[in-house]
Every structure is written in C-alpha cells, then in structure tokens.
Amino acid sequence: MFRKKNKDRNLKKIFQWQDYLNWRKMSPKQKINFKRACLFPFLAIIVYNFLNQFTYAILLLVCIYLLTRLRNRRKISK
C-alpha cells in the first residue's frame, strides 16, 4: 500500500524475547529490564494479597483521618 523510502532507520524493539534467549550477549540494561519484567507479576500478587486482606482496615483508617480533619476544620472556623 505505502512504500517506505527510509528503510535504514533504527526502530525500537518492543517485544525482545529473542534477545532474552541469549543472556551472555545482553547488555546490563537489558538484563535489568528482563529481571524487572519477570519480578513484576510477583509484586502484583503481593500487593493484591495485601489489599485483599487489609482493605477494610485501610478504609477505616482513611475515614477516621478524614473525619478528624473535618472536625478540626469546624473547630477552627468557629
């Protein structure tokens, strides 16, 4: 449909799974990005479990904080 005139331009690789298969040839930045990508699901599971377990406690603390803040505002304005 469209002909590309500039075929020599550098494109940023988004899906680099083929590069990750050869660990020894990877740059240190690529290694760190790969480790982060592999550890992200574990972090998501930990955060999900924490929020699942302590949702009501967190909401209660936030409500208490907001109510005391509102109460203090009313005292100051009088």
- For 40, what's the count of Cα atoms within 13 Å in the CB-facing half-sphere? 7
Report the alpha-carbon distance of residue 13 to residue 1 in Å, rounded.
24
The pTM is what? 0.55
User: Residue 24 CB: number of other CB atoms within 10 A?
Assistant: 4
Which residues, 6 or more positions from 30, have their beta carbon under 8 angstroms from its beta carbon? 16, 19, 20
pLDDT in tens, the chain (78 residues): 556 666 666 666 666 667 777 888 888 988 898 889 889 999 999 999 999 999 999 999 999 999 999 998 887 766
Q: Which of 29, 2, 1, 36 is nearest to 13 (CA)?
A: 29
